[in-house]
Structure 1
Amino acid sequence: MDIQYDLLPKSERLQQQFEQKEPLGFGGLVSDHMFLMDHSNGEWHSPRIVPYGPFEVVDTANHVNRVNVMPNMATLHYSQTIFEGVKAFQHPDGELYTFRLDENVNRLNHSAREMCMAEIPEEVQLEGINALLDVERLWMPQQDNASIYIRPFMFGTGGFLGVKPSSDYVFCTFLSPSGAYFPDGFSPIKLMLTDKHKRVAPKSVGTAKTGGNYAASLKAAERAKEFGAKQVLYMDATDRFIEETGAMNVYMVTRDGEIIIPQFTDTILESITSRSFLELGDRLGHPVLQEQVSALDFVTDIALGEITETGGLGTAATVAPVGSFIMDLGERKRTRVREMVVGDGQVGSVSTEMYALLTGIQTGEVEDTKDWMQKVERRG
């Protein structure tokens, strides 16, 4: 692939290793450049790395090659938009490595199929993202627990009214030097377990990482914040089974040391972090299982101490231990909302082992026996 480089003048871009004395946070900063590519007339073309900022889009339906965002752009009305989240880490050798980028590339194409969008060849995505990381490698934060968060996304740019797939798309990737997803880092968080809201409907696009699924979770998330919860843990449409949060899969640890991840269904986004732990069970020393988790049993087992730890799993948060749940169940009266502590409310030993193993692999401190970490080659 012939990538065009249209970079900022050296005097206007980062020239030495990025440093941030303030708490880094997550997703608040962006690097100098982004990768762009257009789809029109049935093919992807014009791969380029350009300064981060507003960009023009292709609209062949209206016979315009370059236009600013138009009021009738398909994405603004019919939500044809998908995205991914990936991380790159600096290893002791000073080089950048991505974690399971090939899996994110495959999942983006799965989302594209679900949303009737154009797929992007795997090798094209990989080359574009790695080229951008090479240009922006100075943006790698030097703090502990830091990474470059990679956000690839695609949206329909065709201009029309009427519900149908766009034929034109833009694929963009930008980077954010980031710290921990939650401000307190690897510390217990609070979730709200609710039967008042659903993340997605069965037999819809629950397995796609599409913007509409996240928009649908915002109202519930705002309610959770009223009670100090970071996110919402959803049940299935029948209120019988535990599913996932608005941004993470979940896990639970039994008194016997088993790690259980709810079975993937058509209303759960298949987390690459979850799948990684399913493949790492032999190194954890704990069985990692997938099964349907009864909501009633889940609540009962926490109360009885049969479930000793729970938490969230995802690219952004990695492993996020849960110390307690706000129980938003049954009647809508706020007086029925109560808090249930998991174990002793602190980070458990199994969660600590999970976090140490995965972050150790990601940062190059623990052996990567599965070749999940891929080096970002220098291009001169």
Structure 2
Amino acid sequence: MELTIERATKLQTKPNWSDLTFGTTFTDHMFVMDYEVGKGWYDARIMPYQDLPLSPAAVVLHYGQTVFEGLKAYKDDAEEIFLFRPDENMKRMNDSCERLCMPTFDGQFVIEAMKQLIEIEQDWVPEVDGMALYIRPVMYATEAHLGVSPSKQYRFIILLSPVGSYYAEGINPVKIAVESQFVRAVKGGTGAAKTAGNYAAALKAQEVAEKEGYSQVLWLDGREQKYIEEVGAMNVFFKIDGKIVTPELNGSILPGITRKSVLQLLRHWEMDVEERRLSIDELLEAAKNGTLEEAFGTGTAAVISPIGELFYKGEKTVINNNEIGPVAKKIYDTITGIQSGDVEDPFGWRVQVI
């Protein structure tokens, strides 16, 4: 499939990087391609950023057929631009498509199109520590049809947005509320897919937590509401009695790419790591007896976010004196160093754009 390019005739004035808030500023161009059953993917193009038509009867509006991804582009001191493990994002997005009965795509073609789009928009990649160009691939069902069945037509888009820190706290510890009323996902559902419905299901709990002064919600399993799963925008890790523990992937937890990278790093450093079920009771008992040493979240948006406080059923638990721990700090420095080119990449995670 050929990729056509239409350049914008009028470009925006670049924002002041220090004024950026996450996900509100978009670049001058975007990537789009379309799909139709019997025809396959067609009309791949880079075009000026703009609104696109959508029928009020589009399947995505009524039955939620949509998946997305999130990754970043980084500029190093030599002004070369790199991606971080984009092949993993494409694989996960195709897995999400399979779960939502949506068409899969050629991940390598999309990565190459992504590179061309970023090359056009290279001046939008911030040259500031802690900032990057956020990349949002999204696919949604466009067929105008009110029957409950998979759409026969889809659109694939890639948006670019320069961003700073996801959390206002930056790398400082965040406060997390443990959710004991609402449920986000269950095994056998769509929790392992990156689809909009999972996030919509989390909004009410998030709203309640924010009113109480908490940045995010820590979800428990949907059946017993006993076992820790993930934070709304992150997977979670805990250092308990010298071991790093993270909930095992069970079908209701998103298989995070930063999570996977952290596990590879920890094992590369020959640290003691466990992927297993971890109950909230075990975690709180570890906090009480002094063996809970660190807690942190992992994700593309924040990379590493230390957790300084948990709130559960009216009780607050402070972790590591509400300070970033040495393991979280080492992981953060290593991953962001690899992304920026300041730290050696022994895993081949960096993919050069230009």
The 8 Å contact of residues 227 and 326 in structure 1, kept in 2 or not, is answered as: no
Following superposition, the deviation at residue 282 of structure 1 comes to: 4.2
What is residue 350 of structure 1 aligned with on the other side?
Answer: 327
Task: Specify whether residues 118 and 21 from structure 1 end up closer, same or farther in structure 2 by C-alpha distance, changes over 3 A only.
Answer: closer
1:228-271: CA deviations, max 9, x gaps?
A: 11110011121221100111110011232x22111011110000
Q: Does 1:47 align with 2:44?
A: yes
What is residue 371 of structure 1 aligned with on the other side?
Answer: 348
Unaligned runs of 5+ in 2: none
Following superposition, the deviation at residue 131 of structure 1 comes to: 1.3
1:166-214: CA deviations, max 9, x gaps?
A: 0100000010001111122100100001211111122111110000000
Identical aligned residues as a percent: 36
Q: Which moved more, 1:214-223 or 1:201-210?
A: 201-210
1:36-93: CA deviations, max 9, x gaps?
A: 00001330000001111112xxxxxxxxxxxx31111100000000000001111222
For 1:171, what is the secondary structure of its paired residue?
strand
Q: CA RMSD in A?
A: 1.4
Following superposition, the deviation at residue 115 of structure 1 comes to: 0.0
For 1:172, what is the secondary structure of its paired residue?
strand
Q: Does 1:93 align with 2:78?
A: yes
The 8 Å contact of residues 98 and 104 in structure 2, kept in 1 or not, is answered as: yes
What is residue 2 of structure 2 aligned with on the other side?
Answer: 2
The 8 Å contact of residues 7 and 50 in structure 1, kept in 2 or not, is answered as: yes
The 8 Å contact of residues 22 and 163 in structure 2, kept in 1 or not, is answered as: yes
What is residue 11 of structure 2 aligned with on the other side?
Answer: 13
The 8 Å contact of residues 19 and 142 in structure 1, kept in 2 or not, is answered as: no
How many Å separate the matches in 2 of 1:340 and 1:263?
A: 23
Following superposition, the deviation at residue 162 of structure 1 comes to: 1.4
How many Å separate the matches in 2 of 1:252 and 1:176?
A: 31
Matching residue within 150, 162, 165 for 2:135 = 150
How many Å separate the matches in 2 of 1:80 and 1:282?
A: 37
Following superposition, the deviation at residue 285 of structure 1 comes to: 5.3
Unaligned runs of 5+ in 1: 56-67, 330-336
> What is the TM-score when the length of structure 1 is the normalising length?
0.90
Matching residue within 306, 310, 315 for 2:291 = 306
Following superposition, the deviation at residue 96 of structure 1 comes to: 0.6
For 2:115, what is the secondary structure of its paired residue?
helix
Task: Specify whether residues 204 and 375 from structure 1 end up closer, same or farther in structure 2 by C-alpha distance, changes over 3 A only.
Answer: same
Q: Does 1:173 align with 2:149?
A: no
Q: Does 1:242 align with 2:219?
A: no
What does 1:61-76 correspond to in 2, within 5 Å? Answer: 68-76=53-61
How many Å separate the matches in 2 of 1:118 and 1:128?
A: 18
Letter aligned with residue 144 of structure 1: D
Matching residue within 275, 280, 286 for 1:295 = 280
How many Å separate the matches in 2 of 1:103 and 1:280?
A: 16
Following superposition, the deviation at residue 221 of structure 1 comes to: 0.3
Q: Does 1:253 align with 2:239?
A: yes
Following superposition, the deviation at residue 347 of structure 1 comes to: 1.1
For 2:136, what is the secondary structure of its paired residue?
strand
Q: Does 1:200 align with 2:185?
A: yes
The 8 Å contact of residues 305 and 343 in structure 1, kept in 2 or not, is answered as: no
The 8 Å contact of residues 277 and 288 in structure 1, kept in 2 or not, is answered as: no
How many Å separate the matches in 1 of 2:41 and 2:302?
A: 32
Following superposition, the deviation at residue 24 of structure 1 comes to: 2.4
Q: Does 1:128 align with 2:113?
A: yes
Matching residue within 32, 39, 42 for 1:36 = 32
The 8 Å contact of residues 74 and 160 in structure 1, kept in 2 or not, is answered as: yes
The 8 Å contact of residues 155 and 171 in structure 1, kept in 2 or not, is answered as: yes
For 1:88, what is the secondary structure of its paired residue?
strand
For 1:22, what is the secondary structure of its paired residue?
helix
Q: Does 1:159 align with 2:140?
A: no
Matching residue within 20, 31, 34 for 1:24 = 20
Matching residue within 341, 362, 368 for 2:339 = 362
Letter aligned with residue 321 of structure 2: D
The 8 Å contact of residues 308 and 324 in structure 2, kept in 1 or not, is answered as: yes
Letter aligned with residue 154 of structure 1: M
For 1:344, what is the secondary structure of its paired residue?
helix
Following superposition, the deviation at residue 124 of structure 1 comes to: 1.9
How many Å separate the matches in 2 of 1:185 and 1:138?
A: 24
The 8 Å contact of residues 187 and 321 in structure 1, kept in 2 or not, is answered as: yes
The 8 Å contact of residues 38 and 170 in structure 1, kept in 2 or not, is answered as: yes
Between the two proteins, the alignment pairs up a number of residues equal to 352
